[in-house]
Amino acid sequence: MRADRTLRLLCLSGLALTGSGLGGCGLLPHQAELTTGSIAMNAKVVQPPTPADKECLARAMYFESNRSDEEGLLAVGTVVMNRLDAPAYPGRICEVVGQKRQFANGVLTKPVRDQDRPRLERVADALLSGKRHDGVGPALHFHTAGYKFPYNNMHYVVAAGGNVFYEKSDREGYLPAVQPRAVVQTATGRLMPLQVAAANSGMIGLPLTGRVQPTLTAEYTAPTAPELRIPGPARYASAPARDKH
């Protein structure tokens, strides 16, 4: 009864997003108990964050951005967290960062200077607590500023930390639906926002460990960017349904 009332309130406030059948690490099971009104019904269920995931997040920011620019670090970290939310990407931060040909070579193995760690810790903690870069928004992609590519489906949103960030439209010219924030399922079947799980774990405010647990990184090949001639992209109101097979 309480979960039903929560869902009705979500719908009235516009927080509950429609859609089902999405792929990825997992969607909210129907029998799961909602623990907060901030959970969307089609949110992706991901692995609870660990200190190793915080290290992976920090490393992605460190090796992909201007290291003295906290805004740039936050922008790259926002892309990592956006990918964690998206069904097409893995369901753990270290697996997102470790995907082949997605982030800098050696991102999980190269040394990080000790004097840079406090800045990385601050930004990583902010991201794990729910903060995002407003300019990046739901963008999933970026590249080094100054490069140019002959594709009409790259829609740039902001520049930060020596990078430019963009969204990709599909062949029909539509931008992808904005994904709800990922959630974590507890051992008892309850669901909670990832930032709540991170806070409950006690990792927020703790120093980076410098250790990254071994992870299996899935093969990932970015789709070929098609030539598109469109005046301006629209966005799907909700994620399109996918065939179960």
pLDDT tens track for 88-126: 999 999 999 999 999 999 999 999 999 999 999 999 999
Q: What is the mean pLDDT of residues 26-30?
A: 43
Mean pLDDT is lowest, of 81-85, 93-97, 185-189, for: 185-189
For residue 40, name the pLDDT band (cuts at 50, 70, 90): confident
Tell me whether strands 33-34 and 190-193 are parallel, antiparallel or unpaired. Answer: parallel
d(CA 180, CA 83): 11
183 vs 242 pLDDT, higher one: 183
In a domain, 116, yes or no: yes
In a domain, 17, yes or no: no
pLDDT of residue 66: 86
Residue 174 DSSP SS3: strand
In a domain, 234, yes or no: no
Structural domain span for residue 186: 47-208
For residue 222, name the pLDDT band (cuts at 50, 70, 90): very low
Q: What is the mean pLDDT of residues 208-216?
A: 69
Q: Cβ distance 163 to 76 under 8 Å?
A: yes
pLDDT of residue 23: 33
For residue 68, name the pLDDT band (cuts at 50, 70, 90): confident
In a domain, 180, yes or no: yes
In a domain, 242, yes or no: no
pLDDT of residue 212: 82
Q: Look at the chain and report how many structural domains it folds into.
A: 1
In a domain, 35, yes or no: no
d(CA 76, CA 132): 10
Q: Is pLDDT at 64 greater than 90 in this prediction?
A: yes
Q: Which two tokens stand for residue 171?
A: 């062949």
Q: Look over the chain and give the mean of its residue pLDDT values, rounded to a whole number.
A: 79
pLDDT of residue 224: 36
In a domain, 22, yes or no: no
Residues 6+ apart with CB under 8 A from 236: 174, 175, 176, 177
Cα–chain center distance at 171? 23
Which of 92, 90, 85, 222 has its CA nearest to residue 153?
222
In a domain, 102, yes or no: yes
For residue 234, name the pLDDT band (cuts at 50, 70, 90): low
